[in-house]
Amino acid sequence: MTVTSPTPDLFVHQSVLLDAVVEALDVRPGGRWLDGTLGGGGHSQAILEASGPDGVLVGIDRDPAALAAASARLARFGERFVAVHGRFGDVLDLAGPGSPVWQGPYDGMLLDIGVSSPQLDHADRGFSFRNDGPLDMRMDPTRGETAAQLLDRLDLDELTRILRTYGEEPRAHRIARAILDGRPWTRTVPLAECVARASGYRDSRTHPATRTFQALRIVVNDELGELDRALAAADGLIAPGGRLVIISFHSLEDRACKHAFRQMAGVDADKDAYGNPLTPPAWRLVGRRGVSGKQADAHNPRARSARLRTIEKLPLP
């Protein structure tokens, strides 16, 4: 499904680790590729260029503005590019066997997880604590619960747990109490100011509301759940010898990715007396530490916290 919009130019985005993504996926002429987090289409463009003249790519994104921008950007590739509206956690249904756009098994799948720069930069999307806008935070603004609606229904214990678990906020309880005392919340900057006052942080290198907004955004969009579902779907999508590449931007995502990759590669599996896994793994790690965006993409400020990890599906015995 190709999505169009009268304002695709509003989604302008500098993709991180472009060269590293193409290398990690081992992109070559021909091949079938899957970008589960299409965004503005920067990674997909690099993959399509490197896989020319006949490589095919399916791109998925839940954000209609992103799909419109990517569709406009990648129109020159014609039928080599297919855009699909949906959540990457549903990738097996959206682009897997039996779906209308199935092109697989795929030679590589990419996930660039987290919020994108255009979503942060446009205040009306509700992600920014610096520029005032409606307290929304949905990556797909056409469906689901907003951050304002989430805060309206939470109690103190649950909000404290969310801030502590998904924001790794050490002052979660006092911040949660202040948020609930100030309800209802409809705008981003007043909420950020409340968090800053309640937190008591002084001279912090980051805004005091950073961790709180991260936690709310993760829950509103079920980001870690989406990652778990996509990881579980990978085996049914990727061809033997194909690769799964994931870019994460904070420790929660990276830990989940690292743990899942170790499980898939049998690193933490039970072993026999000779140190061999009791069940032969179906995947192998490509580089154990991953690629740091701070080193590999130093010119892009957004890449500073990025980490790219790669795993390859082993050929059939």
Find the mean pLDDT for residues 59-85: 96
Q: What's the fold here for domain 8-117+223-313?
A: Rossmann fold (3.40.50)
Residue 311 has pLDDT above 60, yes or no: yes
Provide mean pLDDT across the span 166-176: 97
CA distance 136 to 146: 5
Rounded to whole angstroms, how far apart are CA atoms 183 and 175? 13
Indicate whether 52 pLDDT > 90: yes
CB neighbours of residue 19 within 10 Å: 11
pLDDT at 127 over 90: yes
Side-chain half-sphere CA neighbours of 213 within 13 A: 28
Alpha-carbon gap, residue 44 to 38, rounded angstroms: 7
Question: Angle, to 10 degrees, between the axis of helix 223-233 and the axis of helix 251-264?
Answer: 20
Task: Indicate the domain borders of the chain.
Answer: 8-117+223-313, 128-221
Which of the listed ranges 118-127, 137-146, 202-211, 302-311 does the model predict with the highest average pLDDT? 137-146
What pLDDT score does 277 carry? 75
Q: 116-125, 161-170, 189-198: lowest mean pLDDT where?
A: 116-125
Average pLDDT of the residues in 128-145: 94
The answer to whether 166 touches 227, Cβ cutoff 8 Å, is: no
Predicted pLDDT of residue 185: 98
Structure confidence at residue 11 as a pLDDT band (50, 70, 90): low
The CATH number of 128-221 is which of 3.40.50.620, 3.90.110.10, 3.30.360.10, 1.10.150.170? 1.10.150.170
The reply to whether domains 8-117+223-313 and 128-221 share a CATH topology is: no
H-assigned helices in the chain: 18-25, 42-50, 64-73, 91-95, 117-121, 147-153, 156-166, 172-181, 188-199, 210-221, 223-233, 251-264, 293-296
